[in-house]
Amino acid sequence: MPTPVLVGSGLTKSYGATRALVNGHLEAYAGEVHAIVGENGAGKSTLMNIFSGVVAPDSGTIQLEGTDVTFAGPDAALEHGVGIVHQELSLCPDLSVAENMFLGFVPRGRWGLARFGEMSSTAARMLELFKTDAQPYDRVSDLSIGQQQVVEIARTLVHECKVIIFDEPTSSLTETESEALYGIIADLKARGIAIIFISHRMTEVFELCDRVTVMRDGAWVATRKIDETTPDEIVTMMVGRDLGGLYPPKNSTPGAVAITAEGFSRGRDFVDISFSARYGEILGFAGLVGSGRSEALRAVVGIDPSDAGSLHLDGSPVKTANYADLIARGVGYMSEDRKGDGLFLSMSIEANTIVAILRRLSSGGIIARGRSHDVSRNALTSLRTKMASLTQPVGALSGGNQQKVMLAKWLVTDPRVLILDEPTRGIDIGAKHEIHALLRQLADAGMCVIVISSDLPEVIGLSDRIAVMREGRIVAELSGDDVNEDTIITHSSAPTAA
């Protein structure tokens, strides 16, 4: 039996009274792709942060090629040959793509000057692997989320690592970028590199990986060979219970029209976006990443500008597309980018939950703390959010629990129309089940729910109707038997007529 490249045994980590990891265990071998799965809060990211030197364990051991090691920080881990691609982007937005790839390891020539030509050419070779439009000299802040994720992944390939950890690497990638990543992972595997792959997508796990380790409540549960287990067995071990159907029954009797958008356009970003959504239904927006879904809906509610377009709520025209006014009128928009514009990561969980209803909870500029606590706790408890206390910084939560806080922020506004952009991105299968059920409950109770999702099974399983976008236009509106994967793919990927 070959010696594992990386071994973690009995690893623990606590943050105050919160035990994030109680028994972290993993053996990763050269030339294998090893999946780590579990619900949010199961300890996956904590274990990976320990392996990559981001945090130090309270106890336990790490061995690299049979030798005990400790990492003083991420740079030390990288120098030992352990790299990580974080789920939450960790790029410097004001630096170029090439500068981000070499951050902390800038090659220098005479008099200590950085060799920008070498950095640029190396970065260009890495970017070509992903078939992306991003260029070495592009400023990271000018890139889309998907392009930024490509840069995050490509950065690890600059260093010759023995172990590369991928934490939800495809969560923001297009289909083309994801396929390119799968090819790169296969190439790294063939070169004898150990790949640790964290994913909530069972399809990816069973297509890419050789073995899978399941974690629950901060502890190792089991490790299985992929060809000796099933998705159902893995899910049951993850959540400790049988979930049953992932998607709740749909509603076939929607109510009155809640919101109507007509003729929204902005340059080439989106053109003539027109649709209506009703109370009591879930309207899905599907399409490839880059099709203009998010851009169009953000303009409809006044977050971003548009060149043309009109909006009606309950049949009455909205004279000015002002986002603050629309929130007051019962329209909420949950962003896909929780780190960039969805949450204040350094602020408390409670502050993030009530930020959209401060006027409702305050008098004379003073917040009623009792009401604030009650509103926050009730909303977060209903979403089964794992947290130490309401005063905990939201940035200290796992990605999935941050997503729940962002959802709670909009639920406490009591919206009549709720637009959710990638509502379950980075959320484990158990939490997805809960949120899917919640969205259907909200629609059944009379709310108008609009879901933008690049997860085809999700948008199909949730939506009563689906608007398909391609190249900035709505090219189809599907309902009934037409709501299926083949039809959506056909409409979303067909070339535009010349």
Query: For residue 246, what pLDDT band results from cuts at 50, 70 and 90?
Result: low
Q: Is the pLDDT of residue 132 over 60?
A: yes
Q: Is the pLDDT of residue 497 over 60?
A: no
Parse the chain into domains and list their residue ranges. 6-239, 257-330+415-493
Query: For residue 1, what pLDDT band results from cuts at 50, 70 and 90?
Result: low
Provide the β-strand partners of residue 37: 214
Q: Is the pLDDT of residue 245 over 70?
A: no
Q: CA dihedral defined by 387, 391, 393, 399, rounded to 10 degrees?
A: 20
The pLDDT score that the predictor gives to residue 237 is: 87
The pLDDT score that the predictor gives to residue 269 is: 93
Q: Name the more confident of 323 and 171.
A: 323
pLDDT tens figures, 257-296: 999 999 999 998 999 999 999 999 999 999 877 799 999 9
Distance CA 395, CA 386 (A): 13
User: How confident is the model over 24-42, as a mean pLDDT?
Assistant: 91
Q: Is the pLDDT of residue 48 over 60?
A: yes
Is residue 216 within 8 A of residue 38, CB to CB? The reply is yes
Helices of type H across 362-428: 369-382, 399-411
The pLDDT score that the predictor gives to residue 343 is: 92
Distance CA 396, CA 389 (A): 11
The pLDDT score that the predictor gives to residue 401 is: 85
The pLDDT score that the predictor gives to residue 495 is: 56
User: How confident is the model over 170-196, as a mean pLDDT?
Assistant: 83
Q: Is the pLDDT of residue 468 over 90?
A: yes
CATH superfamily ID and name for 257-330+415-493: P-loop containing nucleotide triphosphate hydrolases (3.40.50.300)
Share of the chain above pLDDT 90, in %: 55
Closest CA to 34 of 197, 208, 203: 197
Residue 209 corresponds to which amino acid?
C
Average pLDDT, the chain: 89
Distance CA 235, CA 164 (A): 25
Is residue 355 within 8 A of residue 398, CB to CB? The reply is no
Q: Is the pLDDT of residue 498 over 60?
A: no
Q: Is the pLDDT of residue 52 over 80?
A: yes
Same fold, 6-239 and 257-330+415-493: yes
Q: Name the more confident of 242 and 314.
A: 314
SS (H, E, C) 78-141: HHHCEEEECCCCCCCCCCEHHHHHCCCCCCECHHHCECHHHHHHHHHHHHHCCCCCCCCCCEHH
The pLDDT score that the predictor gives to residue 321 is: 67
| Domain 6-239: assigned CATH number | 3.40.50.300
Least-confidence region, from 27-41, 233-247, 453-467:
233-247
